[in-house]
Structure 1
Amino acid sequence: MSVSSARWVCFFVPDSIDDADRVSGGNVYDRHVREGLRRSGWTVHTVLIPRDDHTLTAQTLAQLPNGALALVDGLVAVRESVALRAHSTRLRLIILAHMVGNVVSAALAEADAVSADRERHAFRAAKRIIATSGWTRSEIIARRLGRPPDVIVAYPGTDPAAPTSASRSGNRLLCIGAVAPHKGQDVLLGALAQLTDIDGWTCTFAGSLDIATDFVDELTRMAHRTRLTDRVTFTGSLAGARLDEAYARADLVVVPSRSESFGMVVAEALARGIPVVAARVGGIPEALSSMTAGILVPPDDAQALAVVLRRWWASRAQRSRLTEAAVEARGSVRPWSATVAAIASTLDEMALSGMAVSA
């Protein structure tokens, strides 16, 4: 494989990047990076890596000439750490880290320890690491996965969106994210089960139901047991116009995650003028650009979340204040152009690092 332009990069991403049935924040981010780099003059050769393919990454890396730039999505990098290490001295590898794995301890399963080992080898093979939040950068440095000067932050951006018209009752809740334990939908259901005495509210859960099917079954049983089936709806993955419609019907976005590297849903809600209630974990406080437009609660605490939601419905004045602050916050959301600019700057630095690219 030849490189005919100094502004040329090989971008390794999961093969789900454009799959509407496998929506994720990482895929949205990668798509904006791919298209944004192309608009800014970069030639981007995208390599789609299936989850169960352990040869394509190594084969493609082997075909790259010495000194070539390779931007690798973190999920791919961890799975293919052996291939990255094999080419780390001759290629300029940059990892796009959407998240970091669990801290390894004796209590964790062997599979988690193996994954952490792969993560360590992959990240240390990279010349630069691009993190999606300050919190993620801090975790990478604290775990000695990268040196501070080599870890750059490129915050996710937000697409322009029309403001949502709030209802007087504030009864329309929305929770967006793949239905999986780390997203904490069970925490929100536990909170809602304490609020059945309040009339009229509904909650829509939008996100893939295929990631953790046992967890989905558990939530279904929980909804029946707590008599919430008439109030909660699980839509599956939503994208494009269907996702916009879900936001347009929402008065409040709830993000009950147990872990979150940034919290793109928070930023997307504020871009539409929708207030947020979210767990204080990971990079979520960074995503909440206006602290007056949202409320942070302790993670994994259904009781605390129930108290906040009860207050939300009890006080129309509070709902108005939060909604007004969210509408005002629309002017401070980050554009995707800023994300792309930060990544392009890192690529430009690496392109000029003095390593020759052979044609």
Structure 2
Amino acid sequence: MSTVFVVPAGDAPSGGHVYDERLARAMAAAGRPLRTVAVPGDWPRPDSAARARLAGLLAGLPDRSTVLLDGLVACGVPEVVVPHAGRLRTVVLVHLPLADETGLDPGLARDLDEREGRVLRAAAEAVATSAWAAADVAARHGVDRVHAVPPGVDPAPPSPGTDGSSRLLCVASLTPRKGHDVLLDALALVRGPAWSCECVGPFGDPGLVAALRSRAGSLPVRFAGARAGLALQASYAAADLVVLPSRGETYGMVVTEALARAVPVVATAVGGVPEALGRDPFGRRPGLLVAPEDPAALGDALRRWLTDATLRERLRDSARLRRLDLTGWKEAARAMAAVLDREVSR
């Protein structure tokens, strides 16, 4: 019997959506298919109709079935998920702890954190997307069955870039957690050689998008919106440097997507980002890490990239070597299968 994989409905090109879709494809290719079921709803705070749909789905599964639940769907509704935990083998995949979304009301964050803890403590196993995230989830919820299954990355040709330095690329949804405001403040501090920055990612709250456009002012920054497929590949191909100014990341798939193309990265040292960035065989990082929410530090890193040719060559050389050491979705599928096999054997 194939494992049922419950995911939120929708096709927005978020990291969680890409992870779920690519994992399912890799599992099928490895001979361990997942039966993916997309559940509509405003997760993690769905209305009664969405909760009823999820409850009906779980109730319809035979006893002792294995079900892999995306945490965005499962972790906000313990009243739906926990009653089935004794009857089903539930594995919960946490892309981002619910309370860690930037800008939440403190009371709501506490409520979501409590709900998530109830779901994870009742689950047979939990999965996070990096070793850092697994340790964080285990500590915050008192759960000792949290496994790390980092995302894979698809092979890609090295990016030719533009002129080797001036084209900056930020690939991230326009949400507060991704730190576009910090990036714009940092770019405003950069003086010297000419540069341009393309921000690729789905637009969120229209008010936030308008505020970011206003903040950018006359800076050579373009908000390109969501891109996928060949259009996204073209953005990476033109990039000399990828910038990720996030306030929080459990892993940072954009980092490995850049490195797969031998493009260096400047990013904030949050969560699993240092793990994703990694080091080359000589112990060098293929990018620069700075403190989060620090425009001056980020601006200084960008200035160094733009003005120091020796630094650029070292980072490019390190990125070329790190590219060869990245793992693909086949390895992610193998790691997830090991968790599911462990679950079945209990």
- In the aligned structure 1, how far is the partner of 2:58 from the partner of 2:131? 30
- In the aligned structure 1, how far is the partner of 2:164 from the partner of 2:31? 48
Secondary structure of the residue that 1:55 maps to in structure 2?
Answer: helix
Equivalent residue, structure 2, for 1:184: 179
Instruction: State the aligned residue count.
Output: 333
The structure-2 alpha-carbon separation of the partners of 1:193 and 1:346, relative to structure 1 and needing over 3 Å to count, comes to: same
Secondary structure of the residue that 1:143 maps to in structure 2?
Answer: helix
Instruction: Note the residue ranges of structure 1 that are not aligned, 5 or more in a row.
Output: 354-359
User: Is 1:28 the counterpart of 2:27 in the alignment?
Assistant: no
- In the aligned structure 2, how far is the partner of 1:202 from the partner of 1:312? 13
Equivalent residue, structure 2, for 1:269: 258
- In the aligned structure 2, how far is the partner of 1:37 from the partner of 1:332? 21
Q: Percent identity?
A: 39
Q: 1:203 aligns with which of 183, 197, 213?
A: 197
The structure-2 alpha-carbon separation of the partners of 1:144 and 1:311, relative to structure 1 and needing over 3 Å to count, comes to: same
User: Is 1:82 the counterpart of 2:72 in the alignment?
Assistant: no
- In the aligned structure 1, how far is the partner of 2:164 from the partner of 2:305? 10
- In the aligned structure 2, how far is the partner of 1:145 from the partner of 1:246? 42
Q: 1:44 aligns with which of 28, 34, 44?
A: 34
- In the aligned structure 2, how far is the partner of 1:212 from the partner of 1:98? 21
**TM-score scaled by length of structure 1:** 0.89
The alpha-carbon deviation at position 217 of structure 1 amounts to 1.5
Q: Is the 8 A contact 2:277 2:285 kept in 1?
A: no
Q: Is the 8 A contact 1:94 1:128 kept in 2?
A: yes
The structure-2 alpha-carbon separation of the partners of 1:201 and 1:36, relative to structure 1 and needing over 3 Å to count, comes to: same
Q: 1:115 aligns with which of 95, 112, 115?
A: 112
Instruction: Note the residue ranges of structure 2 that are not aligned, 5 or more in a row.
Output: 43-49
The amino acid of 1:252's aligned partner reads L
Q: 1:302 aligns with which of 295, 299, 314?
A: 295
- 77-86 or 183-192, larger mean C-alpha shift: 77-86
User: What is the correspondence of 1:192-341 to structure 2 with a 5 Å cutoff?
Assistant: 192-195=187-190, 197-209=191-203, 211-224=204-217, 227-228=218-219, 231-290=220-279, 291-341=284-334
The structure-2 alpha-carbon separation of the partners of 1:103 and 1:33, relative to structure 1 and needing over 3 Å to count, comes to: closer
Equivalent residue, structure 1, for 2:138: 141
The alpha-carbon deviation at position 199 of structure 1 amounts to 4.2
Q: 2:5 aligns with which of 1, 4, 11?
A: 11
Secondary structure of the residue that 2:270 maps to in structure 1?
Answer: coil
Equivalent residue, structure 1, for 2:47: none
The alpha-carbon deviation at position 194 of structure 1 amounts to 1.2
Secondary structure of the residue that 2:51 maps to in structure 1?
Answer: coil
- In the aligned structure 1, how far is the partner of 2:100 from the partner of 2:115? 13
Secondary structure of the residue that 1:45 maps to in structure 2?
Answer: strand
- In the aligned structure 2, how far is the partner of 1:270 from the partner of 1:255? 13
Q: Is the 8 A contact 2:99 2:112 kept in 1?
A: no
The amino acid of 1:205's aligned partner reads C
Q: Is the 8 A contact 1:132 1:262 kept in 2?
A: yes
- In the aligned structure 1, how far is the partner of 2:123 from the partner of 2:66? 11
The alpha-carbon deviation at position 81 of structure 1 amounts to 2.1
Q: Is the 8 A contact 2:135 2:146 kept in 1?
A: no
1:286-342 deviation digits (Å, cap 9, x = unpaired): 000224311000110000111111111111121111111111111011111111001
The structure-2 alpha-carbon separation of the partners of 1:39 and 1:91, relative to structure 1 and needing over 3 Å to count, comes to: same
The amino acid of 1:51's aligned partner reads G
The alpha-carbon deviation at position 254 of structure 1 amounts to 0.4
Equivalent residue, structure 2, for 1:356: none
Q: Is the 8 A contact 1:289 1:333 kept in 2?
A: no
Q: Is the 8 A contact 1:33 1:339 kept in 2?
A: yes
User: What is the correspondence of 1:152-191 to structure 2 with a 5 Å cutoff?
Assistant: 152-191=147-186
- In the aligned structure 2, how far is the partner of 1:345 from the partner of 1:183? 32
The alpha-carbon deviation at position 80 of structure 1 amounts to 2.8
The alpha-carbon deviation at position 123 of structure 1 amounts to 1.1
Secondary structure of the residue that 1:70 maps to in structure 2?
Answer: strand
- In the aligned structure 1, how far is the partner of 2:41 from the partner of 2:142? 23
User: Is 1:66 the counterpart of 2:63 in the alignment?
Assistant: yes
The alpha-carbon deviation at position 167 of structure 1 amounts to 3.9
1:222-251 deviation digits (Å, cap 9, x = unpaired): 112xx21xx110011111111100000000
**TM-score scaled by length of structure 2:** 0.92
1:152-207 deviation digits (Å, cap 9, x = unpaired): 11111100001012444500000011011100011110011112x43421000000
The alpha-carbon deviation at position 110 of structure 1 amounts to 2.3
The alpha-carbon deviation at position 79 of structure 1 amounts to 2.9
The structure-2 alpha-carbon separation of the partners of 1:242 and 1:198, relative to structure 1 and needing over 3 Å to count, comes to: same
